Amino acid sequence: MCQGHMHEFLKALPKCEHHMHLEGSLEPSLLFDLAARNNISLPSPAEDPSFESIDTLLARYQRFTSLDDFLHYYFIGMSVLVTPADFEALAYEYFRRAHRDGVVHAEVFFDPQAHTSRGVAYAAIVDGFAAAQRRARADFAITSELIVCVLRHLPVEDGARMYRDAIPHLESGVVRGLGLSSTEKGNPPHLYRDIYADAAARGFRRTAHAGEEAGVDYMASALHHLDVMRVDHGIKLPEDAAVMALFAQRGIMVTMCPLSNVELRCVPTVAALPIRTYLDNGVRFSINSDDPAYFGGYVLDNHCAVQDAFGLDKKEWERIAGHAIDGSWCSDERKAELRKHLEDVMVRFQD
Ligand code: HPA
Ligand code: ZN
């Protein structure tokens, strides 16, 4: 178990989280509270006994069989979010827990299409999240950025419409970048090339989920067709040495989510992830929680799981944390602050 000195070090390490879906931080207790308050009917016990109680739901979360099996619960869960205050409460609670885990900068995804399709206004979502971001900065000194995701299980044109609605926020910086999430297999990155070409032409930052359930070809497609700066998950590079070399050479960061990959059966154990391979081959990565309310751990749990599996030394963690700062989409001034924070922690924990 990751305990003692190394645990304290990992907790103190200034962490940048780049792969966390705000809707995936909806803990069952808040889910049931909001369902009652907003009069949202959840599946009946006859339809799905998992929704009988917090405990039965948490038990079901421990038995996901695939990405789509998880997404089924993820989209039902977020149907309880209605008002700007709901979105604010959700995000603020995530920031509180992230601060507890030593996160100093967070770049967080959200899925407008899953809310606007239920009649929730796009502005209500972003207003709620923006209020939580302001409070998190004041209360916890956490800086954060929003990344708007296109949902790939829906028609491409639906995503294109959502993207067009988000352009003013992408231009103003209220939303910092564009992402691509949901069902991966059968929805390859190249289908989204027009949206991403427009985003590139406007100078918006771009990332995409690829190489989670699907193979390295999806990662190569994200790079070549979407011209992404990062790839989310991206655990399939060992399948193709040439693509891995390209990621290393271009400094394309992959945002890994160890507990998510185990819970969704993408790998049998954390030890099966290519952490050591990526360190040895110069592939940059950050360690993230993906959907912490569903996968049984926030960002520090994910760091501890990697430590338990790979027994990294402090210099290696310094490199990982440094790459996470470099790969963040915040200002150069903020990056300089984060690097100073990292240096201070390395001095404090020197052997
Ligand atoms: N993969 C794809 N889409 C998602 C995920 C994920 O792990 N989490 C939330 N949406
Ligand atoms: Zn994800």
Strand order in the sheet with 285-287: 15-17, 103-110, 143-151, 177-181, 205-210, 230-233, 253-256, 285-287
Query: Is 93 among the catalytic positions?
Result: no
* Closest ligand 1 atom to Cα of 260: 7
Read off the amino acid at residue 94: Y
What are 27-68's pLDDT values in tens digits? 999 999 999 999 999 999 899 999 999 999 999 999 999 999
Summary mean pLDDT of the chain = 98
Instruction: Output the pLDDT for position 3.
Output: 81
Query: 286 forms bridges with which residues in the sheet?
Result: 255
Higher per-residue pLDDT: 4 or 49: 49
Which ligand 1 atom minimizes the distance to the CA of 24?
Answer: 9
Kindly name the residue from 107, 212, 213, 318 that is annotated as catalytic. 212
CB-hemisphere CA count at 13 Å for 336? 3
Question: If you average pLDDT over residues 74-80, what whole number do you get?
Answer: 98
- pLDDT, tens digit, 9 for 90 and up, residues 219-269: 999 999 999 999 999 999 999 999 999 999 999 999 999 999 999 999 999
> Is the pLDDT reported for residue 1 higher than 70?
no
Which residues make up the environment of ion ligand 2, defined by Cβ < 5 Å?
A: 290
Which protein residue has the closest C-alpha to ligand 1 atom 10? Answer: 182
Helix (H) or strand (E) holding 163: helix 156-172
Q: Is the distance from the beta carbon of residue 133 to the nearest atom of ligand 1 less than 6 Å?
A: no
